[in-house]
Amino acid sequence: MTQPVEVEEREFVCEGEIRLGDLNTAIKVRVYRRISDSKIIVVQSHFLKTAIQYLPYAVHEMSQAEPSAALKELERTLVHFYEQAVRRGYTPSDSWLVPNTSYNSSKCM
C-alpha cells in the first residue's frame, strides 16, 4: 500500500430515533465522540430531502460539545425543512427520506 491509512477513533455515546410528522420511517441516529478532539459525530440512517430541497440534509460533525445539544440541533433542522415543505403545500412522503448507505457500516466493532 503506497497511501497512508488514517484511522478515526471514536467512542460510542448513544443511539436514538427522530420521527418527523406523518412520515412512517424513523431516522435512526448514532452519536459518537471523536477521541482526538472530542468533536461530536452524528450518523443518520436517512437524510431528509423534501420536495423543496436541492440536496438532502446530512450532517457528520457537529459543533456542539454535548451529544444532547447536537441531537436537539439536528432535530430542529430536520423539523424546519419538513415544516417548510408542508407549509408550501407538499404532502409528506417517505420518499423524502434518502437512505444513508454507510449507516450500517458506521457501527463500532
Please answer whether residues 71 and 29 qualify as being in contact, where contact means their C-beta atoms are separated by less than 8 angstroms: yes
pTM here? 0.82
Domain-located, residue 82 = yes
**Torsion over CA of 15, 10, 35 and 70, rounded to 10 degrees?**
-30
Number of domains in the chain: 1
User: How far is Cα 42 from Cα 16, in angstroms, rounded to an integer?
Assistant: 11
Domain-located, residue 102 = no
* Least confident window among 18-27, 78-87, 96-105: 96-105
Binning pLDDT at 50, 70 and 90, where does residue 80 land? Answer: very high
Domain-located, residue 62 = yes
User: How far is Cα 25 from Cα 109, in angstroms, rounded to an integer?
Assistant: 26
Domain extent at residue 29: 10-93
Give the residue-averaged pLDDT of 46-64.
85
Domain-located, residue 1 = no
Sorted by sequence, the CB contacts under 8 Å of residue 74 that are 6+ apart come out as 18, 29, 42, 44, 59, 62
